[in-house]
Amino acid sequence: MPSSQRPWGYFDQSAETGPWSISRAEIDARLRQTLAFCVERSTAYAELYGRAGVRADSFRGMEDLGRLPILTMSDLIARQEQDPPFGGFETVPAEEFHRIYINPGFLWQPGESRYQQTSLAEALCGGGILPGDRVLNTFSYHLWPYAHMLDDSLNMIGATVLPSGTGNAFMQARIMQKIGVTAYMGTPSFLMTIAQRAEAMGLDPTSDLPLEVAVVGAEMLPESLRQRLQDKLGISVRQSYATVYLGCLGYECKEASGLHVPQNMLVEVVDPSTGQPQPPGVAGEVVASNLNPSYPMLRLATGDLSMWMEGDCPCGRTSPRIKGVLGRMDQAVKVRGTFVHPWQLDELFAARPEVFKYQAEVSRHQDQDLLTVKVETMDEVGGELALRRLLERELREFLAVKGQVEVVPRGTIPDFHGKILDRRKWD
């Protein structure tokens, strides 16, 4: 079936399109239950929340989430080292888990014999996978949990999995052709490799491969790559955003306009310096909670940056939407107490076609941070002073940080350059 004629489904239509107030009441009830469970049965949460003075009996639900301390990946690593393997976040004896997954950096993750959470199943349906699809799962089944989480989620949907794992693009293209694979899961770059291998084998990827839909993840998906994949393969490509400890935090639907937050997943976008919630349209760090009964993650900071979107999605889902991953927290530099992110500079300079290239530099002078932004202009027509003043004003307004702008000759900024150089020396 050509992908343009495929229907688009839901995992749980009545929940996904029903009034948000009903979902919210259910989430509040489950959140209270999970918190009570955590305090009672998990040694890590009991200690963390005891220290922070969190009381489960006076906790109402999402409105009180901000009272729980934010958990970071470093906390998780430190606690796993202290109390191996799971750090005491588990609410059942460690022997009850069926698997121990190994994430990069020897970070252990317990696995049940079957993944119960529905966030990924909802995402895969939202991205266009239907019951009866034959799905090539090209994520790695070794060590890491993600491929298994997806595999079990496809089982919930009623789709059939080909657990092909990573690598060997020639063989993957042959599998697709021979058995009639209709859906792909994996990274967008690997899908492009498979399409190119198919071409090298003399196949026309549009007509010789029966593929109709791809749900990609684990990498950024630039619009240009999405378009090339869709054109080359004649399919629809949608992305999901997931982290292994939490599950899926957002997915694209048919409209491909922002990422819907799945049911039963609690996503917050917080100001990185204060931990307070950000209003729509203002970027912040994604902090999320899942309500998994045996290994719950409450307020885990992802290190990813996103923002809330406003308005309803034409697909009919009532869940809130985030704008996708805008960048990583660790690429940000703190200047005079304020975070400056590369994407903020990108946004600022995107509106200035006269700027060809830019690079920001943070240095230290007499115990003060100094922000200097070098810019190369499209052509040297003069008016430098006016441009400098304009950009300095915009830096102040957009970044809330005072900075100096220097117009430098073309060729000064190297081709492959960091967008923000931190030249401060701390001793």
| Interacting residues with Zn ion (CB under 5 A) | 253, 255, 313, 315, 317
- The first and second tokens of residue 283, run together, are 């970027």
Nearest C-alpha neighbor of 186 from the set 131, 233, 118: 233
Q: Which CB, 253 or 348, lies closer to Zn ion?
A: 253
Closest distance to Zn ion from the beta carbon of 362 (Å):
40
Three-class DSSP category at 114: coil
Nearer to Zn ion, 253 or 261 (CB): 253
Judge contact between 250 and 313, C-beta under 8 A.
Answer: no
Complex with Zn ion: residue 311 or 382, whichever CB lies closer: 311
Q: Is 237 helix (H, G, I), strand (E, B) or coil?
A: strand
- What's the min distance (Å) between Cβ of 125 and Zn ion? 12
Q: Is the CB of 126 or the CB of 205 nearer to Zn ion?
A: 126
Q: Which is nearer to Zn ion, 145 or 320 (CB)?
A: 320
Q: How far is the CB of 9 from Zn ion (least distance, A)?
A: 13
The smaller minimum CB distance to Zn ion, of residues 4 and 368, is found at 4
Neighbouring C-alpha atoms within 13 Å toward the C-beta of 111: 20
Q: How far is the CB of 264 from Zn ion (least distance, A)?
A: 17
Phi-psi region at 87: left, alpha or beta (left = phi > 0; alpha = psi -120 to 50): left
Structure tokens at 27: 């989430």
C-beta of residue 423 within 8 angstroms of C-beta of residue 362: yes
Task: State the nearest-atom distance from the C-beta of 309 to Zn ion, in Å.
Answer: 10
Pairing of strands 321-322, 259-260: antiparallel
> What span, in angstroms and rounded, lies between the C-alpha atoms of 114 and 102?
17
Minimum distance, C-beta of residue 268 to Zn ion, in the bound complex (Å): 20
Q: Give yes or no for a cis peptide into 85 (omega within 30° of 0).
A: yes
Write down the least CB distance from residue 255 to Zn ion, Å.
5
Q: Which residues of 310-343 are buried (b: 16+ CB within 10 A; e: fewer)?
A: eeebebebbbbbbbbbbbebeebbebeeebbbbb
What's the token pair of residue 381?
């027509």
Smallest gap from residue 215 Cβ to Zn ion (A)? 14
Q: Which is nearer to Zn ion, 316 or 418 (CB)?
A: 316
**Beta-bridge partners for 137:** 185
Q: Could you tell me where the DSSP H helices lie in 42-90?
A: 43-52, 73-82
Q: Least distance in Å: CB of 256 to Zn ion?
A: 9
Q: What are the Cα distances from residue 278, in Å, to 41, 59, 186, 269, 319?
A: 32, 22, 32, 6, 17
Q: Which is nearer to Zn ion, 6 or 317 (CB)?
A: 317
Report how far residue 236's alpha carbon sits from residue 231's, in angstroms, rounded to the nearest whole number: 9
Give 12 or 392: the residue with its C-beta nearer to Zn ion: 12
Q: What is the DSSP letter of 276?
A: P
Report the nearest approach of Zn ion to the CB of residue 260 (Å). Answer: 6
Closer by beta carbon to Zn ion, 128 or else 296: 128
